[in-house]
Structure 1
C-alpha cells in the first residue's frame, strides 16, 4: 500500500500544500481523488483537480458526507454517526464532531478502546467462523482453512452524517496473518485517543475510490470496486 498521507506529500489544507499549489497553478478545483490498491504491485492513483479520471459507473455513483477540516493540523475528518454489523448497531458512547479521521498512513482502522471492544464482540457473535488464537496486534482471529466465498463474514457499515453507509466487505475486514489464519483488521487505540474516537486507515480504503472536495467541504466514497470486477490496481477502471 502506498504511504500517501496528508503530511507526506502535502495533501493537507494549508496554502503551502501540494494540493493547494497545484490547484492554484493550474486553476483547478481543490479536490483530490484517491484509489489505494490492495495488491502490493498495484500502483493505485491520485488525481488532483475537478474532473474525475474514472468512468461514470464509479465516479457518478459516489455517496457523500460533509468533510470537516482541522484548521490547526489540516487533518480531514468525517462524522460517523453509528457503526452497524450485519444491521446491529455498535454503541459509540460519547461523540465528538469530526470523530473519524481519514488517514492513509495508518495501516488499519483504529478505534477508541470501548468502541473497539464492542465492535469485536459483535463481529465475533455474527461471524460464522472458527475462532483461533489471537495474532498481535489483532484481537479477533479466525481459521481460514476451507474458507470460500460463501463464508459468513458479516459486513460492517459506517453510517455517516447525512445517512449514507460506507460498507466494508470481507476484503477490507480480514487480514491474512499466516497460513490458514485471518484476523479482523481493526486495532485497539485504548482510552488515550483524545481528539478522535476513530482513525480510518488504509486497509479499509483499499479498492475504494474516495474523493475529498475542499471547496465544497465534501467527502465522497464508492463501494468496493471488487464488486464491479475491477480494482484500484488496474490501469483503468471501466
Structure 2
C-alpha cells in the first residue's frame, strides 16, 4: 500500500510526551514551514509533507502485483527486474546490493554523458571490423522488464525496456556465444512469419553499426553498450505480440547470436528511443506516435507500458525537446524545484544550459551541481530533527529513522517549462536501503555543464506520456492503480 500523504504530527513511539507532540504540531503548522503547492494532478492546496509509517519504508518480499494496465490492447505489465514479481529473480542468484545498483547506475550516467557530449570517437577492432567503441548506453541494474511474444506460433520473452536504446533484440538459435537467459532461445526455424532483413533495406542502413558481406546478403548488426556488454546478430522481421490479443506484423529486431555482458537473465531488450528502428517508431503507424508507462511505487508491485492510447485527463504536459547530437534521447526543460511548497533559489539558466534527458533506465535523478547543492540544503533544513546517516554510494544526504514509528518528509516538486509542476510520490523523494539509512534520491553531476537526467525513481507512480506526435511529455499522478 502506498504511504499516506497528509499533514499530521510526527510520533516517536509510545514514550512521546504530550508537550513534544504539541510543539511539533505548532512548528509543522507554521506558515513559514507549510505552503501550498500544486499536486501532479493539478489540484490546489496539496500537502507539502509526506507522513509515512517507518514500517512501510522497505518493500515487501512478496509480489503484490494485481496486473495494473492501461486501457488499450497494446498494454504490457511492467515489473522491476530485481523485485519479487520478476520472472528473472528466482534463478538469477538474488538481487544485487544497493551499492551495486547505485555504482552501476553511475556507469549508465557516465555513458549518457559521453554520448551527449559527442565524446565517443574512438574505434576498436571487433570481429575484423572497425566500429565505434560504444553505440549504446550502459544498461545499469535499475531496469524494468515486460513480457512480449515473438513469432508464429507465439513464444513469450522477458525483456528490458529502455527509452535510451533504439534497437530491440533477443537471443536466437543457432547461437555462437550466448549468455544464460531465463527462457529458451528464440528459434527462427519454428516461426512461419520470420524473415531476414536484406542489406539494402533502409532499416539496416539506419542502424548505428551494420555490416554486409554483399549487397544481397543478410544485414548484420552490432550494439556495444557503455559497460562493454555487446550483442551481435542478424537484423530480422517477425510478428511481435503486444498484450493478450494484439500483434504488430513485420516488426524489425535483432536476432542475437553472439552476445555477452551484464544482461542478467533477461531474454533481450525492447528499445523505445526516437530512432526509426525502435519499437515506438515502428508502432507509430498503427497505434499513434507515442507511448506511455507507469513505474510502480515498489518492486513488489506492477505498472504498465502502453503504445498509443489517450493520455490520462490529469496529465500535465511540457515540451519534448530534440537535440541533433543525440537524436535518440528524449529531452525536456526542467526549470525549477520546490521543497515543502517553497521554490528553491536556482537560476533557471542552471537547468537550461546543459538540458535534461528523461530516461527509464537511470535510477537516480542527476542535477547540475549548483541545483543539487541548493536542493540538498533546502531539504536538509527541513530534516534537522532526524539523525544523519552515512552516505550510500552516490547518495550523500541520508537519515537514520531508527526508533520512529512515523516520519514526516518535505515534499519535492519538479517544475518544467510551460508550468507543469510534478509533486513527487514519497518513493521519488527518498531511496531507502534500510531504515537506518534513508537517502535523498537525487545526486549531483559534479559540474554545471553535463546534462541532467530525470531518473526512474522520480518517475514512480506517474503515467509518463511520450506524445511524440505533438512533441510533448506528460505526467499524470497515481496512474499505476
Shorter-normalised TM-score: what interval?
0.7 to 0.9
Pairing 1:4–2:260 present = no
CA drift at 1:110:
0.9
Q: Root-mean-square deviation (CA), in Å?
A: 2.1
Aligned counterpart in structure 2 of residue 210 of structure 1, from 421, 445, 464 = 464
**Matched residue pairs, number?**
216
Pairing 1:49–2:303 present = no
- For residues 192-233 of structure 1, what are the alpha-carbon distances to aligned partners after superposition, in whole Å with 9 as ceiling and x for unaligned? 743x2x21101111111110100101111022x2xxxxx63x
Pairing 1:90–2:345 present = yes
Partner of 2:101: none
Pairing 1:161–2:417 present = yes
CA drift at 1:95:
4.0
- For residues 73-119 of structure 1, what are the alpha-carbon distances to aligned partners after superposition, in whole Å with 9 as ceiling and x for unaligned? 22111111111112132314534368221011111101122221221
- The 8 Å contact of residues 353 and 449 in structure 2, kept in 1 or not, is answered as no
Shift in alpha-carbon separation, 1:97–1:21, aligned structure 2, 3 A? farther
Aligned counterpart in structure 2 of residue 81 of structure 1, from 331, 335, 343 = 335
Partners of 1:46 and 1:5 lie apart in 2 by: 11
1:90 partner SS: coil
- The 8 Å contact of residues 77 and 98 in structure 1, kept in 2 or not, is answered as no
- The 8 Å contact of residues 344 and 375 in structure 2, kept in 1 or not, is answered as no
Pairing 1:61–2:320 present = no
| Structure 2: 5+ residue stretches without partners | 1-79, 81-143, 145-159, 166-268
- For residues 38-76 of structure 1, what are the alpha-carbon distances to aligned partners after superposition, in whole Å with 9 as ceiling and x for unaligned? 322433211001345xxxxxx111111111123442211
Partners of 1:11 and 1:71 lie apart in 2 by: 18
Aligned counterpart in structure 2 of residue 134 of structure 1, from 382, 387, 391 = 391
Partners of 2:330 and 2:354 lie apart in 1 by: 8
- For residues 115-138 of structure 1, what are the alpha-carbon distances to aligned partners after superposition, in whole Å with 9 as ceiling and x for unaligned? 212211111012243322322221
1:117 partner SS: helix
- The 8 Å contact of residues 414 and 423 in structure 2, kept in 1 or not, is answered as yes
| Structure 1: 5+ residue stretches without partners | 53-58, 226-230
CA drift at 1:5:
1.8
Partners of 1:187 and 1:19 lie apart in 2 by: 30
Does 1 or 2 have the higher relative contact order (CA < 8 Å, sep 6+)? Answer: 1
Partner of 2:401: 144
Partner of 1:228: none
CA drift at 1:146:
4.1
- The 8 Å contact of residues 68 and 98 in structure 1, kept in 2 or not, is answered as no
Aligned counterpart in structure 2 of residue 15 of structure 1, from 252, 259, 276 = 276
Shift in alpha-carbon separation, 1:18–1:97, aligned structure 2, 3 A? farther
2:438 partner SS: strand
Partners of 1:193 and 1:147 lie apart in 2 by: 40
- The 8 Å contact of residues 173 and 185 in structure 1, kept in 2 or not, is answered as yes
- The 8 Å contact of residues 425 and 461 in structure 2, kept in 1 or not, is answered as no
- The 8 Å contact of residues 316 and 420 in structure 2, kept in 1 or not, is answered as yes
Shift in alpha-carbon separation, 1:95–1:140, aligned structure 2, 3 A? closer
Partners of 2:325 and 2:301 lie apart in 1 by: 34
After TM superposition, the score normalised by the length of structure 1 is 0.82
Aligned counterpart in structure 1 of residue 293 of structure 2, from 16, 30, 34 = 34
Partners of 2:291 and 2:437 lie apart in 1 by: 36
- The 8 Å contact of residues 428 and 441 in structure 2, kept in 1 or not, is answered as yes
2:453 partner SS: strand
- The 8 Å contact of residues 209 and 221 in structure 1, kept in 2 or not, is answered as yes
After TM superposition, the score normalised by the length of structure 2 is 0.42
